[in-house]
Structure 1
Amino acid sequence: MRQLKKLIVPVLSLSLVLPTMASAAPAPVKPAAPTVNTPAADLRAGLDYLLSEHFVLAVNAMTKAYDGAKDADLAFKALDQNALDMTPAIASIYGKAGAAEFERIFREHNNYTDDLVMATKMKDQAKLDEVADEVEEFVVEFADFLDTATEGKLPQEAAEDALRLHEQQVQETFEQYIAGDYKGAYETYREGFSLMFVISKALSSAIVEQMPEKFGHSKADTKAADLRSTLNSLAAEHVALTVPQMQKQFEGAKDYQALIDAEKAHTADFKEAIKSIYGQAGADQFEKIWVENHIMAQSDIAIAAMKGDMAARAEVNKRVESFVKEFGSFLGAATEQNLPAAAAQDAIRTHENQVAAAFDHYAAGDYEKSYMSFREAYKFVFGIGQALGGAIVTQFSEEFQEEASPHDMTKIWLKIGSKDLSVDGKVTKMDTAPFIWSGTAFVPLRYLSEGIGAEVKWDEKTRTIWVMAGEDTLTFWLGKDYMEVNGEKRDIGTKLFARDGRTAIPLRFIAELLGWDVKWNDAEWSITLTKSMME
């Protein structure tokens, strides 16, 4: 089964995409006011929507087909329609011929979905091998198309690497699902979903670089565009998890609890995003509002439908309306009315109605209308990301200014998936590679620290790591989401863990902690660390 695009670039953590308001350094030169509404940001947002929806619909089509669900054919139809919806977007950039070639490659790869599922159900290894060969053919052909279309701005090798990674994640999600490992399946699903937004950034950046005049010399990778994309991701993933969770809970499906757990993890991510802007108090208030009369209420809608309890449903509807008013007011107050509370409430109410419609049609057995409502709900939230992102950028304008003259003297170079570490041109082979996990780029703490001349010590008994950098001592603990600098506690934002026997740490956190600036190369999927000139 082929999932379209996996084009690259290391994914950004929420703290990277949403600059910490208290510590972001002011730009030396202040250009025009930053905005989420530029031609390049619009292109990226459009790709955010189409590519992420493709992933959601593709996984859904595979699992529905394997389960022999009544709506399996409509699931594939929705997937195919998503591919058709991409064609006009491609035509607007590369013309009718380019769009036709894209559609041929892309729609054909969607057909592998059914082939893979059928071969898996029949345990037909020969057919599985054949599908694997077809997948590889797609990877090479589509990567060549992207390389040619972008005139090398998105190189074929990088595109191939990304496409293969994407295919692996899709297949792993499917395999974990059919094996009954629902927890693992939805964890992998969330990773794969997150990567779609990485892909859209890479592809939009390549296109904008290729055609600067067409996009008004705007850029797809500004802080404001990053914010808009992150909010797109958070809002869209909520829809992608909530609608199937309600449907599966209504049916009593074996995986509905795993979906509830995935929603909890998503809520935690959303809370961290709010915290990075409005602090702990704002994050706590968000969580309370978001969960009680929203996430829990949507689950209660499924329970009421399962019992045929119309009175209970009416009570839940009142709770949902309470959420609409409270959350809209929260957003209005938090953004200092840059997003008016009334406008926020209108948008949230529309969202709730669309989600409810997708569920109600499904519960009534009208699967065609259910898919229509789901796709409407999914598309709608990308407008919310734009509106909320615009309000935040206006509110904290200085924090989203771009540096006019970035310094690019390379000091340290790494690459996602590569064990090479270059320090001032000298390459060291690591025994593990940087990787992406839950939307964040992680690097091996020891190698990065030693690469810049720091001394690293480890205590197995207490699971403690000390990094001696100059006169500073940094203390980390495996399993803890905080560390200390000379005894002063600092929040990392995520619990440290080991991978391949090495402590992994979020790249953005350690780079800023040690005073380095981070630069991503979308084409190479590489990371360059340079000394900050703002120290």
Structure 2
Amino acid sequence: MKMKKFIAPVLSLTLLMPGIAGAASAPQTPMTMMKASVNTPAADLRANLDHLLSEHFALAVTAMAKAYDGAKDADAAYKALDQNALDMQPAIASLYGDAGAKEFERIFRAHNKYTDDLVKATKMGNQAGIKQAQDNINGFVEEFSTFLSTATEGKLPKAAAKQALKVHEDLVQKVFDEYVAGDYADAYKAYREGFKEMFDVSKALSTAITTQMPEKFENTKADTKAADLRSALNHLASEHFALSALQMQEEFDGRTAASNALVTAEAGNTADFKAAIASVYGNDGANAFEKIWVTNHVNAQSDYVKAVKNNDATARAAVEKRIDGFTTEFATFLDSATAGNLPKAAGQQALTTHENQVQNVLDQYAAGNYDASYTTNREGFKVMFGVGQALGNAIVTQFNDKFQEPTTPAPAPVMTTVWMQLNSKMLKINDKTTNMDTTPVLWKNTTYIPLRFLSEGIGATVKWDKKAQQVTVMAGDDTLEFWVNNNVMEVNGVKKNVGATVFVNKDGRTQVPLRFIAELLNWDVKWAQKDGSITLTKSM
């Protein structure tokens, strides 16, 4: 079957492809559209959070189950969970500094311990211990939601953060409770719900951060159609890896009920993947995907487990040959479906890496090298986010117009004019006239202006520290600090020479040299010697 045949039904896209209006409508005002991309700073932030948060969930519930069972790999699972928390710190530090990262570590790592305490108390039937652990978890929800709201300056409101964290903790608890009860089908159904929820959290958090710090992310957005696509593919690919690795362990250990429940969960993941493919390439494409994906990929996993368990080299070689065939066939499928935007060679390399990591996770587990197995597990999980990025990029490149966002024209600059006059209390800012309680003055051949009135007049905030004899001006992202009787000031912590001494006049107002403050803030200055008037202009 030729892939071109199922590229045509793009008008019915519903899942990954943004909707396209089909009915005729009234003429609309033309909008400027920006070329879509999954590779933006904001989309990268969201993908990074997708990875770390979803991995946290997967490792948390796995570590709890392993600890409850007293499994030999329980310690390794918890170490991996703790390392996940540590791996979040550089991202936090890059945004909120070392102090923010340390506070995050204190709160987040502690909550991992609370879930471990819950497992131990449950295993012992210690009701007081269970209540204490649950109280600690509720305390974490309160404290961490406050942290997130404060860090993002309210861009992620505390109420929203608290609700998301509560949903997360409730789903972690549900997975564990169902697992303890032996209801593995419901446990892994809840697992899939909780795993998906982490991607909703990462979208909300990345949107808050990029709204808070637009320039740091080059004014790109985390909630574009292209970023949504990349995240959706991240979700499906990483969930596939997490479920596969866990299912193969359970089958190897002979835990049939848990293994079967995970097979069902994997089938759900495959169905979601198929629906996603259908939304882009139609039902023919989805059916072709399913046949390739299941036959020599998902189904081959069970045969690989049997070969490893029986130490059957011949059977293992046969399975590996099937899997090699899958990587070739699926890479060809992706190349054709994406019209060459995901080349076969690149696709096959990524798929081969994925398959090798899935196999290595089990091989190391079977050999009792649990720390190595979880290290490989984490590496393989991370690779899936590269897969989501590559496939998302191919689809967005192929159907770019379907993912484009309307651009918001930059507001026209507004010219601000400030007028003052020597020995006059009148201050004019554009059409608004204010009477100051002091005046600009000429002293030692230098024109001085009252700092507070100019600053507040243009929307800055001024603070006076009497003890330190210090004036602080906060203008946008800049902080200016002046000291009375000093010719040195600071801009964002960097010292600058004012060129003349800052002083307090007889009216108790801080006066600063006009020329210096104008140049510092990029104002144009016109001085009329005839009447002593000063005109400052700036496009804002």
Fold similarity call, TM over 0.5: yes
Query: 1 CA distance for matches of 2:108 and 2:299?
Result: 38
- 1:376-396 deviations in Å (ceiling 9; x for gaps): 100011011111100100100
Once the two structures are TM-superposed, the CA of residue 324 in structure 1 deviates from its matched residue by 0.2
Amino acid in structure 1 at the alignment position of 2:325: S
Once the two structures are TM-superposed, the CA of residue 245 in structure 1 deviates from its matched residue by 0.6
Preserved contact between residue 248 and residue 305 of structure 2 (Cα < 8 Å): yes
Deviating runs (4+, > 6 A) in structure 1? 24-27
Amino acid in structure 2 at the alignment position of 1:196: M
> Cα RMSD between the aligned structures?
1.7
Which has the higher Rg, Structure 1 or Structure 2? 2
Preserved contact between residue 61 and residue 113 of structure 1 (Cα < 8 Å): no
> Which residue of 368, 371, 378 corresponds with 1:368?
371
Preserved contact between residue 300 and residue 322 of structure 2 (Cα < 8 Å): yes
**Relative contact order (alpha carbons < 8 A, sep ≥ 6): 1 or 2 greater?**
1
Which ranges in structure 2 are unaligned for 5 or more consecutive residues?
A: 1-12, 410-540
Give the direction of change, closer, same or farther, for the CA distance of 1:78–1:198 in structure 2 (3 Å limit): same
Give the direction of change, closer, same or farther, for the CA distance of 1:242–1:380 in structure 2 (3 Å limit): same
Query: 2 CA distance for matches of 1:23 and 1:293?
Result: 39
> Which residue of 185, 188, 195 corresponds with 2:187?
185
Preserved contact between residue 21 and residue 277 of structure 1 (Cα < 8 Å): no
Residue 284 of structure 1 corresponds to: 287
- 1:37-87 deviations in Å (ceiling 9; x for gaps): 000000000000000000000001100000000010111000000000000
Query: 2 CA distance for matches of 1:183 and 1:24?
Result: 43
Give the direction of change, closer, same or farther, for the CA distance of 1:244–1:90 in structure 2 (3 Å limit): same
How many residues were matched structurally? Answer: 393
Once the two structures are TM-superposed, the CA of residue 30 in structure 1 deviates from its matched residue by 4.0
Residue 117 of structure 1 corresponds to: 119
Residue 415 of structure 1 corresponds to: none
- 1:81-122 deviations in Å (ceiling 9; x for gaps): 000000000001111110110011001111012200011011
- What does 1:198-347 align with in structure 2 at a 5 Å threshold? 198-253=200-255, 254-347=257-350
Residue 130 of structure 1 corresponds to: 132
Asked if 1:72 is matched to 2:71, the reply is no
Preserved contact between residue 321 and residue 349 of structure 1 (Cα < 8 Å): yes
Give the direction of change, closer, same or farther, for the CA distance of 1:239–1:330 in structure 2 (3 Å limit): same
- What does 1:467-486 align with in structure 2 at a 5 Å threshold? none
Give the direction of change, closer, same or farther, for the CA distance of 1:120–1:24 in structure 2 (3 Å limit): farther
- 1:475-504 deviations in Å (ceiling 9; x for gaps): xxxxxxxxxxxxxxxxxxxxxxxxxxxxxx
Once the two structures are TM-superposed, the CA of residue 282 in structure 1 deviates from its matched residue by 0.2
Preserved contact between residue 20 and residue 276 of structure 1 (Cα < 8 Å): no
- What does 1:456-535 align with in structure 2 at a 5 Å threshold? none
Amino acid in structure 2 at the alignment position of 1:63: A
Query: 2 CA distance for matches of 1:198 and 1:24?
Result: 31
Amino acid in structure 2 at the alignment position of 1:131: A
Asked if 1:31 is matched to 2:33, the reply is yes
Give the direction of change, closer, same or farther, for the CA distance of 1:127–1:282 in structure 2 (3 Å limit): same
Residue 387 of structure 2 corresponds to: 384
Query: 2 CA distance for matches of 1:71 and 1:270?
Result: 31
Amino acid in structure 1 at the alignment position of 2:295: E
Query: 1 CA distance for matches of 2:29 and 2:252?
Result: 52
Query: 1 CA distance for matches of 2:182 and 2:23?
Result: 45
Once the two structures are TM-superposed, the CA of residue 249 in structure 1 deviates from its matched residue by 0.6
- The SS at the match of 2:341 is coil
- The SS at the match of 1:214 is helix
Give the alignment's TM-score, normalised by structure 1. 0.72
Give the alignment's TM-score, normalised by structure 2. 0.71
Asked if 1:402 is matched to 2:405, the reply is yes
Residue 14 of structure 2 corresponds to: 15
Preserved contact between residue 16 and residue 280 of structure 2 (Cα < 8 Å): no
Once the two structures are TM-superposed, the CA of residue 402 in structure 1 deviates from its matched residue by 1.3
Once the two structures are TM-superposed, the CA of residue 131 in structure 1 deviates from its matched residue by 1.1
- The SS at the match of 1:183 is helix
Once the two structures are TM-superposed, the CA of residue 20 in structure 1 deviates from its matched residue by 4.8
Give the direction of change, closer, same or farther, for the CA distance of 1:270–1:24 in structure 2 (3 Å limit): farther
Preserved contact between residue 237 and residue 384 of structure 2 (Cα < 8 Å): yes
Query: 2 CA distance for matches of 1:164 and 1:113?
Result: 14
Once the two structures are TM-superposed, the CA of residue 405 in structure 1 deviates from its matched residue by 6.4
Amino acid in structure 2 at the alignment position of 1:329: T
Query: 1 CA distance for matches of 2:86 and 2:131?
Result: 28
Once the two structures are TM-superposed, the CA of residue 369 in structure 1 deviates from its matched residue by 1.0
Once the two structures are TM-superposed, the CA of residue 18 in structure 1 deviates from its matched residue by 3.0
Give the direction of change, closer, same or farther, for the CA distance of 1:395–1:27 in structure 2 (3 Å limit): farther
